[in-house]
Structure formats: C-alpha cells, structure tokens
Amino acid sequence: MDIKIIAEIGINHDGDADKAMDLIKAASNAGVWGVKFQYRNLENAYADDAKQIGDEMLLTEIRRNYLSPDTILSLTGQGKQLGLAVGISFFDTQDMLDFNDDLASFDFFKVPSVELSNIELVNSMLRLDKPVYLSLGCHNEAEIDDAISQFKGDNWLALHCVSNYPVSLTNSRLGYLQHMANKWQRPFGYSSHDNDWEVTLIAMSMGATVIERHITFDKDANGLDHTTSSTPDEFSRMAMFADHIGLLMAGNGPRVANQGELLNLQNLGRSFYAKQAISAGEIIKPEQLVFRSPRVGLGQNEIQPFLKHPTVREVTPGQVLSRSVFEKTPPVSDTAIDFARSRKIAIPVRLHDLAGIEQKFPVGAYEFHLSYGEVLSEVDAKQYNADNRYSIHLPDYINSTQLMDPFSADALQAEQSQNILQRTVDLADALQQHTGQHVPIVGSFSVVHESIEQFYQQHSQLIEGFRKQGVSILPQWLPPIAWYFGGSVKLEAVNQPRDVELIERYQLPICMDVCHLCMGDSVFDFEATEVIKRLSGFIQHVHIADAAGIDGEGLHFGEGDTKNMPAISSVMDLDCMKVIEVWQGHLDEGAGFAKALNRLAELFDD
C-alpha cells in the first residue's frame, strides 16, 4: 500500500520565507511525500464588521503569517527540486485567482474542512485535473453527502478530520475511516490534529492512504498551530512506518513460519540424538536417546510414530535421528541427473560434505556455502574434483555480531570484510587454476550507507577491482526481508525496481535469486518475469527455489505461489549455473535435494 505523508507548512513559518524553506527541507529529509501551503487573500478573508474575540485573534495570525503568491511559488519550485510533491489549500475562489495560470505549478489541492460546502471552490479545484483532498471536519453526514453530490469531477479523496485543535486520544473517531471505506469504496485519508502523532499509525493500519499533519520545529513556539504539529523527527518515524505498512499488515492467511523463525527453530530448538550405537533393523527405545540442540532432526511432535518402526540403517553415537534413519531416501532418477548436468543445475555444499553430496548427486556442479571461519582457515583447492564446476557463496557474516560490509564506517569491520573478500577471491582463483573453469563468487551485499547511488558506485568499483584479479563477484538479488542474526531486517538494495536501472547503468553482473525475486514481487511494484527479461544480459548465475508471500523462502518447486512458476521457468532457460536453494535440502541424507532434482526434471525436461 502506497501511503502519502503530507507535511502541512500552514502558518508555522511565521510569515518568514526562509523559515518556510527550512521546514520544507526538514520535511524532505524526514522522507515525506509532499508539503502543503495555505493561502488566503487578505482582502477577502474576514468581513469588515467581524467583531468576535476569535475573529480578532485569527485575523491577527493570518496577517502575521501571510506569504505572497510569488513567495509561495518560489518555495514550491524549491520544494519540487527536493523531489517533493507540493500542494496548497485555498479558502475561496478569489484566493485561486491570485495565482492565475501558476495554479498548474501545484501537484495537488486541498479543501479545508470549513469550506467543504463551498461547491464553487471545490469544483474550481476539480477542474484543474489534479488530486483534490477534502477534509470532512465540522460537517455532519448529510452535509457531506450533499456536497459530494454536487462535485463536477471524480479526482477527489476525502480525509477524515476532527476539527479540534488539539484532538485528544478519546475523540479521534477513527472508526469513521472504516465507514468511509465501506460507503465510498475508494481510497481515503486522515488529516491529523491529534495531540499524539502516533494516532496516524492507527489510521495507516486501517487503510488511510494519505496522512496530513502540520510540521513545526518547536511545539511550544508562539502560534496557533504549533501544539498540534509534529517535529521533523516525528515525521521521520511517521514516514518510516508508512514505508513499511504493507509489510506490517501482511499475513492475512494461513500462517507460514518465515525463514528467520525456521533458523531460530533449528538453532534454539532440540532434536533427538542417539546416546549409543543402534543397529540397522533395531527398534529404538526412548532410553537410547537424548534431547538436545540444534533441531536438525526429529522433534518431540515427530518422533513417536517412528519409534514403532525398525531403523533402515546403522546409527552411530551422537548422530541425530532424522527420517532417513527410518525411511530410505527416494532415489534420484538417472533422467533427473542427466537433466541437471545438461541444464547446469548445481547443489549447495559445505566444505566438509562435498564428497558425500557428490557421490549421492553426481550433477557435476556445486556451490560452496562458506562460513567466515572456513574462509579464514586454510583450504586446499586441489583436494576437489577438477572435473566439476564450482561457485562460492560469500559469508553473510564476518564474525558472530557483524555483517559483511567492506564500506563500513567501523574501520575494523571494513578491514575484516575486505580480508574475507580477498581470501574468498584467492580460493576462487585457486579453484579456477585447478579446474580450468570460471568460479564466480556470489555476495549478499545489503548495507546502504549515505545513499543507494553511493552503494552502487562503491560496489561497482569493488567488483571491477577483483575482476582485474581474474575473479567475478556477483551481487545477489536480495529478498525484501533478510534474516540476520535470528531477526528480520528490511533491505533497501538489489531487490526493487530502482535497482534494475542502477544495475543497467553500472553494468553490474549479478546472481539472480528467483526465490528472492518472487518474494519481492509480492512487495514491490514489478513483475518478476519482466525483471528477468530486462536483466538477462547481466545475469551470470542463478539461485532457484520457490517462495510463498513475502517471507516464505526456499520452498520446493510447485509448492509456492502459483505466480512464481513463469519466473522459475524463465531462469531455467539461461545458460549459467543454477543452484538449488530449497530449505535444508542436505538433511535426511539429501532428501530435499533429491526431491528438487526430480521435480525440476518433471517440470522442465522437454
């Protein structure tokens, strides 16, 4: 859901154009979508004989905070240069006439609550063919219905508003948002004068797509609107929640444990392990087992049915009990192996299990998934079969608490990252010398510092430097959410539409992780197949698995969202290594890899 946050400059500039510009810059830095001015023609604002105490106070403030049309237009241009949408509120058609043809400079217009029934004003705005936001404060339902029935255009969006200054927590009446949604079946928003800016978060969660609130540098400043305004810091948090609201509100369906939860279940959960040697054909007794971490085998809710069946293989002391102890792993067909070799399908391996994986799955292509400890150890490339093709997945971590980040402001983190990078490059080079074949390195580069532009500049230079050493480093297409250190982190690089253009501009070779891409398809505004098509000239390596929703990662082919299959089919046609990335494929004697290989052959063997 795309939520527009509007910082209302209003009268908090105190009639000072420089202060107004400072507020605009602060709003831009906070990450809002747009800013808005108010304008009243001073000669047309109040009747000459207005004598109420409130009239005197308001007219004084209006005159004190007046900005001319020329000043507002100059500020509008500067706001647009900062990438902001800029709008304005008018209180009468005379106000609009003061801007004449320059009305086209504004991106949207706003009808204040008190002028909702000013049909001439509303229709004059609607005729400009720009979005018109309507505050509904001060009016009853019948009055609102009557006004809307007279509109001469459909380019309007209503904002729920309680016109008290301020609005207490007990009087926001946010239930009206649901009423608006049900009644008009169109987008709606919220104009907030709340004491507590956090009320806007509830409005977002209820579906409001436009949030308007005044901005100030000092809530205690002299002026009518400062107390019901938000500071730039509060706008930053508001914008952050608006950016993440789609992910926050996701999950309206059967629950699927995300990858981070599965990792935590594995690391923190427990499985049954053998206390002693157990012969093949023996029925295991509970007293022969211990219950320990990590959970890489059968847990409490799974073990009981298997204790009634004899084992199909010998179990050594300390070995985890998995399904493969009780069931023979389905074989991989010769057809599936031949298909894998012809399509350059690869299996991910650790240094210690390559021999066993290669014997069971002789596909001729393997990707080393390395830990930082393994990279820092001495690895002899000559011990590996020179007839195989290899790739290497760079560690995500450089130690137990820090991510790979060669450009970190932490000098030690940057140094350790660069050291691990160089040692991985040295291993890839040694494998290339040993096999006579290209050995790419895949890296999950995810940390953005000052800007996304800087991210691409730095990483393109890094990759070019290692290319000159004869080794390719391929940034991996990333998921919308990563599971670092057992938690979830929203990523901001190599995973959304803007990255497509940046990859093209910087001519970056990449690894396309189609599972990550399909999860991003559920979050960002792109079609996975279109991204693959556009970046096909830059994709030199592929990771393949199915996915469900925004965080169901590493599923077997055909068990994820149905929309994913065209994207998986697209990458299968690319002439490069394709590494199977199904979750825990190596467990149970490689049962997951066997299933994946057989399934790929069924789906794509012509």
Question: pLDDT digits over 460-513, tens only?
Answer: 999 999 999 999 999 999 999 888 887 888 899 999 999 999 999 999 999 999
More confident: 431 or 553: 431
What pLDDT is attached to residue 84? 97
Q: What is the pTM of this model?
A: 0.76
Mean pLDDT of 49-72: 69
Q: What is the pLDDT of residue 48?
A: 54
Residue 562 has a CB neighbour count (10 Å cut-off) of: 7
Domain end residue (candidates: 308, 325, 342) = 325
pLDDT tens, position by position, 170-191: 999 999 999 999 999 999 999 9
Note whether 207 and 188 are within 8 A (CB): yes
188 and 263 co-located in one domain: no
The angle formed by the CA atoms of residues 29, 199 and 2, to the nearest 5 degrees, is: 55
Report which of residues 328 and 222 the model is more confident about: 328
How would you classify residue 207: left for phi > 0, otherwise alpha for psi between -120 and 50, otherwise beta?
Answer: left
- Same domain for 456 and 513, yes or no, is yes
Claim to verify: residue 182 and residue 274 sit in the same structural domain: no
Q: In the numeric block, which tokens belong to residue 51? A: 């004598």
Residue 554 sits in the same domain as residue 423: yes
Q: Examine the pLDDT at 358 and tell me if it is beyond 90.
A: yes
Q: Is residue 425 part of a domain?
A: yes
pLDDT: which is higher, 50 or 453: 453
Closest CA to 596 of 584, 585, 605: 585
Nearest one of 588, 594, 583 to 322, comparing CA atoms: 588
Residue-number span of the structural domain to which 580 is assigned = 334-604
Q: Does some domain include residue 152?
A: yes
Hey, how many other C-beta atoms are within 10 angstroms of the C-beta on 570? 21
- Tell me whether residue 344 is in a domain: yes
Neighbours of 408 (CB within 10 A): 19
In 80-165, at which residue ranges do the beta strands (DSSP E only) sit? 85-90, 108-111, 132-135, 156-160
Residues 321, 338 share a domain = no
* Per-residue confidence band for 246, with pLDDT thresholds at 50, 70 and 90: confident
The answer to whether residue 254 is domain-embedded is: no
The helix, strand and coil proportions of the chain, stated in percent and rounded to the nearest 5, come to 45, 15, 40
For residue 231, what pLDDT is reported? 95
- How many angstroms separate the CA atoms of 345 and 541, rounded? 11
- The answer to whether residue 265 is domain-embedded is yes
What share of the chain in percent tops pLDDT 70? 97
pLDDT of residue 59: 63
Predicted confidence at residue 52, as pLDDT, reads 47
For the CA atoms of 471, 472, 473, 478, the dihedral, rounded to the nearest 10 degrees, stands at -160
Q: Are 117 and 138 in contact (CB under 8 A)?
A: no
Mean pLDDT throughout 204-213? Answer: 97
Any domain includes 208: yes
Tell me the mean pLDDT in the region 382-402.
95
User: Is 418 found in the same domain as 284?
Assistant: no
Residue bearing the bigger pLDDT, 367 or 305: 367
Percentage of residues in the chain having pLDDT higher than 90: 80
| Sign of the CA dihedral with 419 first, then 422, 424, and 430 last | negative
pLDDT for residue 605: 87
β partners of residue 580 = 544
Closest residue by Cα to residue 239 from 176, 296, 197: 197
Prior bond of 166 cis (ω within 30°): yes
Q: What is the pLDDT of residues 317-356, one digit of tens each?
A: 999 999 989 988 878 999 999 999 999 999 999 999 999 9
Select the more confidently predicted residue: 155 or 219: 155
Q: Is the pLDDT of residue 116 over 60?
A: yes
Based on the fold, state whether residues 477 and 392 are members of the same structural domain: yes
For residues 234 and 356, membership in a common domain is answered with no
Residues 310 and 445 in one domain: no
> Span 253-265, mean pLDDT?
82
- Do 165 and 305 have their domain in common? no
Nearest to 258 by CA among 578, 558, 484, 587: 484
CATH number for the domain spanning 425: value is: 3.20.20.150
Q: How many domains does the chain have?
A: 3
Report the CATH number that the domain containing residue 275 is assigned in CATH: 3.90.1210.10
**Buried-state track 27-58, b at ≥16 Cβ within 10 A, e below 16:** bbebbbbbbbbbbbbeeebeeeeeeeeeeeee
Give the number of other Cβ atoms within 10 Å of residue 301's Cβ: 6
Final residue of a structural domain among 207, 229, 249: 249
State whether 233 and 382 are in the same domain: no
Alpha-carbon distance 498 to 441, whole Å? 24
Q: Is the pLDDT of residue 42 over 80?
A: no
Angle between helices 565-572 and 587-604 (to 10 degrees): 90
C-beta contacts of 54-60 below 8 A and 24+ residues apart: 58/224
**How does the average pLDDT of the chain come out, rounded?**
92
**Shared domain check, 452 and 586:** yes
Distance CA 520, CA 550 (A): 7
For 266, the 3-state DSSP assignment is helix
* CATH code at position 31: 3.20.20.70
pLDDT of residue 53: 43
- Phi, psi torsion values for 172, nearest 5 degrees: -75, -25
Per the CB < 8 A criterion, the answer to whether 258 and 489 are in contact is: no
